[in-house]
């Protein structure tokens, strides 16, 4: 994600489950940063439409989703969580 603002994540038109925002605006329109959030498995179980709402002058380079993590429950990546990430494009 690059720019300034908030990316809201919701499922099936329901309430916002995650708000992602850089701690400070990025240096430029193409100065991407990586952000991530955990969504409880109870909310993410099954098949859903994912809604990403950009609020503010933001650019999204990549959106990725992964299944259940193998970490501990305390770090938000353990069993019972789903992860989504906004990643910067690789240099090149």
In a domain, 37, yes or no: yes
Strand, helix or coil at 35?
strand
pLDDT at position 37: 82
In a domain, 92, yes or no: no
Evaluate if pTM is beyond 0.75: no
In a domain, 91, yes or no: no
In a domain, 23, yes or no: yes
CA 84 to chain CA centroid, Å, is 5
DSSP letters for 49-70: -EEEEEESSEE---EEEE---S
8 φ, ψ to 5°?
A: -100, 140
Distance set, CA 71 to CA 55, 68, 83 (Å): 31, 9, 12
Q: Number of folded domains in the chain?
A: 1
Residue 74 has pLDDT above 50, yes or no: no
Domain of 72 in residue numbering reads as: 2-86
In a domain, 41, yes or no: yes
Q: What is the pLDDT of residues 22-71, one digit of tens each?
A: 888 888 888 888 888 877 755 667 788 889 999 999 888 888 877 655 44
In a domain, 14, yes or no: yes
In a domain, 81, yes or no: yes
In a domain, 13, yes or no: yes
């Amino acid at each position: 994600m690059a720019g300034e603002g908030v990316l809201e994540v919701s499922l099936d038109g329901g309430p916002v489950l995650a708000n992602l925002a850089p701690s400070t605006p990025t240096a430029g329109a193409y100065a991407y940063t990586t952000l991530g959030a955990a969504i409880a498995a109870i909310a993410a179980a099954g098949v859903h439409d994912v809604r990403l709402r950009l609020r503010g002058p933001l650019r999204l380079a990549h959106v990725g989703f992964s299944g259940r993590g193998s970490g501990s429950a305390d770090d938000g990546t353990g069993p019972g969580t789903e992860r989504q990430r906004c990643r910067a494009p690789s240099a090149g």
